[in-house]
Each structure stands twice: as C-alpha cells, then as structure tokens.
C-alpha cells in the first residue's frame, strides 16, 4: 500500500489490531488513542453491539497482565505505523497508567523518546460524602506523549494570558504607551563566549543569554532595559502586544469536561472535549498530515482533524461508534466519503 492509496479520511469498522496490520509502515504523523480504561467493568460497554461486547470480553479475559498484553500488541503496531517524525498520545487514568508507561510505552518507544506526562485536570466534581474516606479523590487523567525519534514535529501552543498574570508582570510602559515586562538575559549554563561587559555592566556569572552582536542589535531596537545603576542587570523587554499568550505546560487545567448541556454532546458517555483534541493535533501535526485514532468512539478526533485540515483514519469495532461518528461529520461539513 502506498501513501496515495492509503484509506485516508475513512471510518473503518473492525478490530484495530487486524486493520492496522494492513496499513503501510511509517505512514502516520500522529496517533491519539483513548483506549478503554482498566477500571469499572460494567461501564466499559457503551453501545452494547456485538463488536463492542466481543472486544470487551477480549480485554477482560484476565487481570491487569492480560489487559496490558492486549494493549501492548496494538501499540507495537502503532509504533510501526508512525513516521520517524511522528508522535503518539495515549490517554489513560490511574488504574493502569504506571503499567502502561513502564511495560508498554517505555519498552516500545524507549525512555529517551518520552516527552511528557500531560495531566488533564478534568474539573469534574468528585462530590461530597459524609462517609469517612482513606484517600483523596481522583479528578485527573494522564496523557502520555512519546515520539518515534528525537526529530518529532512540535508546534508551540499558547493559552490566552490570564488577566492577573498580565497585571502582575506587565507593569512597565514606554512613552508611546506600549506595555512590557522585563525578563532575564542570563544564560542558564556557563558560556565563556557570552561573557562580556556591555556599557559598563558586568556579565552574569554564567554569561549572557545572547551574543554581543545580538545585544547591540536589541539595544538599537529598544528591546533591552539598561539600568543607570551599573550594579543592576540588563534585562530584555517583552511587549504585551507581541505575545501570543502563555505557553502551555504539562498541566492542562484550562479544558473542562463537557457539561450535560454542551452543544458538543452526542450521547457518548466518555466523550472528550474538542478543545483537548485541538491542542494535541495542533501541537504535534501540520496541515495535510495524517492522524490515526484506533479507538475513535464518538469521533472527536476525526471531527477536529477534519476541521483543522488534517487527513484522518478512524477505527472502531462498534457499528454504533462508526454510525455516530459519520453523523457527526456529516453535520459538521455535510460531506463524508465512505
């Protein structure tokens, strides 16, 4: 199979293990998977059709060892499918997260290709109870981010700047009214070639963060603050009108679960918010890239990938999952090739 004949922009019904065996090696740019969690058995069956029940029985035939073996076999295929610049995001909860990272992801992708454990604070209430508890409640999921090599695609993403953050840090103003904050120009590690004196200001212990030529360039452009007191440090100016927002870190506490009245709701109990998938797809792929979701469920990955100009493949063993995703895509853009 070649890239030109790959089943892109397709919903595929069947066992993802068998389907992924037919896909071309190193053809996928990004994989997101939200496999059934190793948690409440009774909650695992959502649609109740034959394919889903069969998959349920396969997963729960044994204990945690069987579950990990079941998932590992599939992740091994995903590793084969990823391009050298590709990434995988595996979504799970606390029940099996430690096993998944150590026994599956570290062994298949290698510890050196671990990028982040993203902690998604779902912000759903764990409720109040008069019953005495012996532990804290759970209100987070883990999303493990691994890459196939060190040359992965990664696009920096931002959130809107918090007004309190702006008020706290952006407290300086130019004569023309431009607001800015000050940031260090100190190198994080010793750099002998960046150890120089500038306009009477001695360098920091580990040197400046920029070269002398760059320092002069920024000075001429008005991008640095040079205090009159020679004992104080030169700092960089960061203008409010030039920032994109705050850099996204590994704690994602700004994306809520879907409320019962959300317009995104399609009746899928474990449906993830589109904002979550937007962040993942935007950071780890570019327009035209191919995204795979082998446990597509309610089709959030497919809907967002389509909207962001990515190609996609969605796989699920449930007939209902495919039908619901198809309806969702038709509603979103009116066109779906099957």
Output the CA angle 296-50-24, nearest 5 degrees: 40
User: For residue 227, what are the contacts with CB-CB under 8 A and spacing of at least 6?
Assistant: 233, 234
| pLDDT level of residue 233 (50, 70, 90 thresholds) | very high
In three-state secondary structure terms, 284 is helix
CB distance 248 to 279 below 8 Å? yes
Q: Is the pLDDT of residue 3 over 50?
A: no
The two three-digit tokens of residue 69, written as one number: 């073996």
| pLDDT level of residue 1 (50, 70, 90 thresholds) | very low
| pLDDT level of residue 44 (50, 70, 90 thresholds) | low
Q: Is the pLDDT of residue 335 over 60?
A: no
Which of 258, 267, 190, 197 minimizes the C-alpha distance to 226?
Answer: 197
Distance CA 2, CA 27 (A): 9
When comparing pLDDT for 202 and 46, which is higher? 202
**Mean local confidence (pLDDT), 240-252:** 87
User: What DSSP assignment string belongs to 34-68?
Assistant: -PPPSS-HHHH-SS--HHHHHHHHHHTSSSHHHHH
CB distance 59 to 36 below 8 Å? yes
Distance CA 155, CA 253 (A): 20
Which of 102, 121, 91 minimizes the C-alpha distance to 64?
Answer: 102
The two three-digit tokens of residue 337, written as one number: 């090739």
DSSP 190: -
Q: Is the pLDDT of residue 5 over 70?
A: no
DSSP 256: P
pLDDT at position 48, please? 65
Q: Is the pLDDT of residue 47 over 50?
A: yes
Quickly count: other Cβ atoms within 10 Å of residue 211's Cβ: 13
Q: Is the pLDDT of residue 41 over 60?
A: no
**Mean local confidence (pLDDT), 253-273:** 79
pLDDT at position 296, please? 93
**Mean local confidence (pLDDT), 105-123:** 95
Mean pLDDT of the chain: 87
Quote the pTM value: 0.77
Q: Is the pLDDT of residue 55 over 90?
A: no
Quote the radius of gyration of the chain (alpha carbons, Å): 25
CB distance 20 to 81 below 8 Å? yes
**Mean local confidence (pLDDT), 222-230:** 95
Q: How far apart are the first and last CA of the chain?
A: 18
| pLDDT level of residue 85 (50, 70, 90 thresholds) | very high
Distance CA 90, CA 142 (A): 8
Tell me the domains of the chain and their CATH numbers.
3-157+248-333 (3.40.50.150), 160-242 (no CATH)
pLDDT at position 257, please? 84
**Mean local confidence (pLDDT), 95-121:** 97
DSSP 115: E
Q: Is the pLDDT of residue 103 over 90?
A: yes
């Amino acid at each position: 199979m070649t890239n030109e004949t790959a089943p892109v922009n397709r919903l595929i019904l069947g066992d993802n293990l068998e389907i992924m065996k037919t896909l071309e090696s190193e053809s996928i740019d990004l994989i997101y998977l939200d496999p059934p969690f190793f948690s409440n058995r009774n909650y695992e069956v959502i649609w109740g059709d034959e394919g889903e029940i069969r998959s349920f029985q396969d997963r729960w035939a044994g204990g945690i060892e069987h579950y990990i073996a079941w998932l590992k076999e599939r992740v091994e295929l995903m590793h084969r499918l990823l391009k050298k610049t590709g990434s995988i995001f595996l979504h799970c909860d606390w029940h099996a997260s430690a096993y998944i990272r150590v026994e599956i992801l570290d062994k298949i992708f290698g510890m050196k290709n671990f990028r982040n454990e993203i902690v998604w604070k779902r912000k759903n209430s764990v409720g109040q109870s008069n019953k005495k508890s012996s532990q804290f409640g759970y209100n987070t999921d883990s999303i493990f981010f691994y890459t196939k090599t060190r040359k992965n695609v990664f696009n920096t993403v931002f959130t809107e700047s918090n007004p309190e953050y702006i008020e706290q840090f952006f407290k300086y103003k130019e004569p023309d009214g431009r607001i800015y904050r000050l940031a260090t120009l100190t190198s994080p590690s010793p750099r002998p070639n960046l150890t120089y004196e500038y306009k009477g200001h001695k360098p920091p212990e580990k040197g400046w963060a920029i070269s002398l030529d760059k320092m002069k360039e920024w000075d001429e452009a008005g991008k640095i603050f040079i205090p009159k007191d020679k004992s104080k440090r030169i700092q960089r100016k960061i203008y409010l009108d030039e920032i994109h927002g705050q850099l996204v870190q590994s704690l994602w506490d700004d994306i809520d679960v879907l409320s019962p009245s959300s317009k995104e709701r399609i009746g899928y109990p474990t449906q993830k918010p589109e904002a979550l998938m937007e962040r993942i797809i935007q950071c780890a792929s570019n327009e035209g890239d191919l995204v795979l979701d082998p446990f597509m469920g309610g089709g959030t990955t497919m809907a967002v990938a389509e909207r962001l100009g990515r190609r996609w493949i969605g796989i699920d063993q449930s007939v209902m999952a495919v039908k619901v995703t198809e309806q969702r895509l038709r509603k979103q853009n009116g066109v779906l090739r099957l």
